[in-house]
Amino acid sequence: MPALQHRITAADILSDAEYNARRAELRAASIADKKNRRIEVGPYATLYFENYNSMWLQVQEMLRIEKGGADQVAGELEAYNPLIPQGDELIATFMIEIEDADRRDRELRKLGKIEDSVFMDIGRDRIKAAPTDYEDRTTPDGKTSSVHWLRFKFTPAQIKAFKSGSEPVIIGMTHPNYGHMAVMAPAVRDALSKDFA
């Protein structure tokens, strides 16, 4: 699949039979691709940067699991197309990953609105992440969700700086209960640079 495609169409969807025949190969390629599209920040936050390929595979998996056929396709495209970067942005699934259910519940209750605290620094230039157009992911009592979708919108100068590799790229959170930062590895930066076009 072309990495720079910005929208999945019904014509891109494989039949159940064709997808099932190629599923192992497609999933293996996706796992290899995703290795350089993730960054861990602090003890339990991870950003997984999405693209056409990751969202296309997600749509195919949803169709395979739910077996809704052609009637399901439009709804899946409506859900997942907004998570494909459009050439001047990066979009990440932001996950708070804590295996122990009791600890996860306690921590999520401390992290309300964490999605509003995420940033990316390119040298001295800061890009504040914006939650995507989904419903509020923090409940009225202050408990956040363990999954968020974030959009980092770039100017042309920021894209140039990101791709050049001349300045460090740092991702972090300024939440009072989760103030962590991580430097983006060169392999991740190289992979994400391909999302700009």
At 86, is the secondary structure helix, strand, or coil?
A: coil
How many CB atoms sit inside 10 A of residue 168's CB? 11
- Give the tens place of pLDDT for each residue, 159-178: 999 999 889 999 999 999 99
CA 21, distance to chain mean position in Å, is 27
- Sort 114 into a burial class: Cβ within 10 Å, 0-12 / 13-18 / 19+: buried
CB 189, CB 165: distance < 8 Å: yes
- Give the tens place of pLDDT for each residue, 96-110: 999 999 999 999 999
Give percent above pLDDT 70 in the chain.
Answer: 96
- Give the tens place of pLDDT for each residue, 114-159: 999 999 999 999 999 998 866 667 788 889 999 999 999 999 999 9
DSSP state of 94: E
Confidence (pLDDT) at 125: 95
Confidence (pLDDT) at 67: 82
75 Cβ contact partners less than 8 Å away, ≥ 6 residues apart: 68
Distance (Å, rounded) from C-alpha 176 to C-alpha 114? 9
- Comparing CA positions, the residue from 16, 118, 100, 119 lying closest to residue 61 is 16
Distance (Å, rounded) from C-alpha 42 to C-alpha 39? 10
pTM (predicted TM-score): 0.89
